[in-house]
C-alpha cells in the first residue's frame, strides 16, 4: 500500500483528504505545519506528499525546495492551495513539484492526481531496478573449476529457505553471489533488500532493521521492505551484540516486532549474511553470538579470492569493459593478449573490486583501441607506489574498512618518517603512546 503524507494547516482539509485516501487503500499520515512535515517525512518515508503552499511556519514551495536539495529525495510532491494562480503553479513545478491542485479540492481531480503520481514513481523505481538487475544479478563470471563448483553449490542451496552465510575477502563481490542465489530461488519475484550493517546508526539500528510504530505513523525497517523476498545483511560481523540477540530471536521464532508495536510480524524473509571476517574467531573472542553464528552457518558459501581462480581474469576484464561502456558511456578498448597475461599473474589483493576499478581507470585515462602491456605496468606501479587518496582509499569499501585502511597507511607513513620511533609518532599524531601501541596492534602494523 502506498504511503501518503498530507501537509495542510487546515484541520478540516487534512481530515477530509485522509479519510478519502484511506478509503481508497492508501496509508495516510498528516501534518499541520512544515516542522511536523519534516519529522513525518523522515519517519514514514512516504511515496507521495500532498503539500499546502500557505502554512504558518514555512511556505510549501520553500519546503519543497529544501527537500529537493536533500540527497536521494525522489518522492513526488503535489502542491495544494486555495489561493492558487498560474504564476504560483509555474513556480511550484519549476521547483520540482509533480503537479498542482487548487482548493476547494475536486475529489475526482485529487484521486486521479494521486494515482498518477504513485504509478509514475512506481514505474520509475521499477525501471531503475530492472536496469540495475541486468548487471547486478548476472550469473557469476568464470569457467574455472572453483567458480563452476560454486555456482552449482548456490543452485542447490537456492532450493531451500534456510539462512545463508557468505564469507570471503574484501572485494570478492559477495553481494553479487547473494543476488544470484536470490534470482534462482522461489523468492526471485520478491524484493532483494541490501542492508549494510556497518552503516546502521548506533542509536537507530534496531528501528532501521525492524521498523517502528508510533502513534498513527509507522517507519518500515529493512525486514518490512524485504517481506516476500531476501534480506542481505552485509558486514554482519559489525552488528552490535544487542542487535545480534534480537536477530537471533527473530530467526528462532520466525517473527519480529516493530519498535513500539504490539503485534508480531511473520518473518517471510530469507536472510543472507555476509562478512569478510572469520566469524569463528569473532565467536571465540565474544564479539559474535555463537547461537546466531550456528543459525546463519547452516549452508555456508565461501567466495574464493581472485588469485585462486586467476584463469577467469580475461573473462572478467571483458565483462567490465562492456559494463563501463554500457553504464557510463566510456569508449570501448580491448586488452591485448600480453596485457591479459600480465593481469593473470597479478596478486589482486583487492580482488574483483580492484580489477573493476583498474578497468574503469584505464578506460577513463587511456586512449587508443588496445590496452597494451606497457600501459598495464604503468597503471600497476602507480597504484602501488602512489600515496594519493585514490590508491590509499577505495570508495566502494564500507566506512569502517576504508577508515582502517587509511589509518594503517597513515601510521605506517609516520613510522617510516620517524624511523620507527613510536614516541615521536605519538607526538606528531597527538596520541598517548599507550593508545598508539594499541592502535598499531589492532591494525596489524609490525613495528620492526
Buried b (16+ CB within 10 A) or exposed e, 160-199: eeebbbbbbbbbbbbbbbbbbbbbbbebeebebbbbebee
pLDDT band at 306 (very low <50, low <70, confident <90, very high): very high
pLDDT band at 165 (very low <50, low <70, confident <90, very high): very high
Write out the E strands in 286-339.
301-302, 334-335
Is pLDDT above 70 for 6? yes
| Length in residues, the chain | 448
Pairing, β 48-52 against β 3-7: parallel
Could you tell me which of 260, 171, 165, 279 has the C-alpha nearest to residue 219?
260
| Residue 445 per-residue DSSP state | -
* Cell numbers at 66, concatenated: 529544501
Do the Cβ atoms of 75 and 68 come closer than 8 Å? no
pTM over the 0.75 mark: no
Phi, psi for 79 (deg, rounded to 5): -85, 145
Cα(410)–Cα(391) distance, integer angstroms: 13
pLDDT 10s digits, 221-259: 899 889 999 999 999 999 999 999 999 999 999 999 988
pLDDT 10s digits, 36-87: 998 888 878 888 999 988 888 888 888 888 888 876 678 899 988 776 556 7
Cα(41)–Cα(67) distance, integer angstroms: 10
Could you tell me which of 24, 8, 229 has the C-alpha nearest to residue 107?
24
- Nearby residues of 289 by Cβ (< 8 Å), 6 or more positions away: 241, 244, 245, 248, 283
Buried b (16+ CB within 10 A) or exposed e, 72-110: eeebbbbbbbeebeeebbebbeebebbbbbbeebeeeeb
Cα(10)–Cα(104) distance, integer angstroms: 12
Do the Cβ atoms of 165 and 296 come closer than 8 Å? yes
The full set of domains in the chain, from first to last, is 3-130 (3.40.50.2300), 160-302 (3.40.50.300), 306-385 (1.10.8.60), 399-442 (1.10.10.60)
Is pLDDT above 80 for 397? no
Amino acid at each position: 500500500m502506498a504511503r501518503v503524507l498530507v501537509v495542510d494547516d487546515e484541520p478540516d482539509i487534512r481530515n477530509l483528504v485522509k479519510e478519502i485516501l484511506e478509503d481508497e487503500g492508501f496509508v495516510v499520515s498528516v501534518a499541520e505545519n512544515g516542522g511536523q512535515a519534516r519529522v513525518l517525512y523522515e519517519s514514514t518515508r512516504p511515496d507521495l506528499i500532498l503539500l499546502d503552499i500557505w502554512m504558518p511556519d514555512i511556505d510549501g514551495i520553500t519546503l519543497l525546495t529544501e527537500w529537493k536539495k536533500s540527497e536521494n529525495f525522489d518522492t513526488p510532491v503535489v502542491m495544494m492551495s486555495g489561493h492558487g494562480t498560474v504564476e504560483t503553479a509555474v513556480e511550484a513545478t519549476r521547483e520540482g513539484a509533480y503537479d498542482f491542485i487548487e482548493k476547494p479540492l475536486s475529489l475526482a481531480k485529487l484521486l486521479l492526481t494521486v494515482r498518477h503520481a504513485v504509478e509514475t514513481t512506481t514505474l520509475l523505481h521499477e525501471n531503475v531496478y530492472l536496469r540495475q538487475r541486468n548487471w547486478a544479478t548476472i550469473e557469476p563470471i568464470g569457467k574455472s573449476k572453483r567458480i563452476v563448483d560454486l555456482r552449482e553449490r548456490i543452485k542447490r542451496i537456492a532450493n531451500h529457505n534456510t539462512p545463508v552465510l557468505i564469507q570471503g575477502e574484501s572485494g570478492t563481490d559477495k553481494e553479487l553471489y547473494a543476488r544470484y542465489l536470490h534470482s534462482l530461488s522461489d523468492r526471485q519475484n520478491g524484493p532483494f533488500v541490501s542492508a549494510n550493517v556497518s552503516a546502521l546508526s548506533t542509536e537507530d539500528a534496531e528501528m532501521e532493521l525492524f521498523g517502528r510504530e508510533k502513534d498513527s505513523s509507522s517507519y518500515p525497517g529493512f525486514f518490512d521492505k524485504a517481506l516476500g523476498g531476501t534480506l542481505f545483511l552485509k558486514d554482519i560481523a559489525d552488528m552490535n551484540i544487542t542487535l545480534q540477540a534480537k536477530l537471533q530471536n527473530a530467526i528462532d521464532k520466525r517473527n519480529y516486532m516493530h519498535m513500539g508495536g504490539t503485534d508480531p510480524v511473520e518473518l517471510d524473509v530469507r536472510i543472507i549474511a555476509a562478512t569478510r571476517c572469520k566469524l569463528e574467531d569473532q565467536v571465540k573472542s565474544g564479539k559474535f553470538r555463537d547461537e546466531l553464528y550456528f543459525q546463519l552457518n547452516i549452508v555456508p558459501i565461501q567466495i574464493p579470492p581472485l588469485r585462486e581462480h586467476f584463469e577467469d581474469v580475461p573473462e572478467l576484464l571483458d565483462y567490465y569493459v562492456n559494463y563501463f561502456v554500457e553504464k557510463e558511456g566510456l569508449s570501448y578498448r580491448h586488452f591485448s593478449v600480453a596485457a591479459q597475461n600480465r593481469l593473470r599473474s597479478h596478486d589482486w589483493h583487492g580482488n574483483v573490486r580492484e580489477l573493476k576499478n583498474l578497468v574503469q581507470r584505464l578506460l577513463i585515462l587511456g586512449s587508443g583501441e588496445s590496452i597494451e602491456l606497457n600501459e598495464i605496468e604503468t597503471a600497476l606501479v602507480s597504484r602501488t607506489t602512489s600515496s594519493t587518496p585514490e590508491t590509499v582509499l577505495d570508495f566502494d569499501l564500507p566506512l569502517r574498512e576504508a577508515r582502517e585502511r587509511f589509518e594503517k597507511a597513515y601510521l605506517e607513513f609516520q613510522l617510516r618518517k620517524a624511523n620507527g620511533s613510536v614516541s615521536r609518532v605519538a607526538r606528531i599524531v597527538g596520541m598517548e603512546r599507550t593508545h598508539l601501541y594499541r592502535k598499531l596492534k589492532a591494525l596489524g602494523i609490525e613495528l620492526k
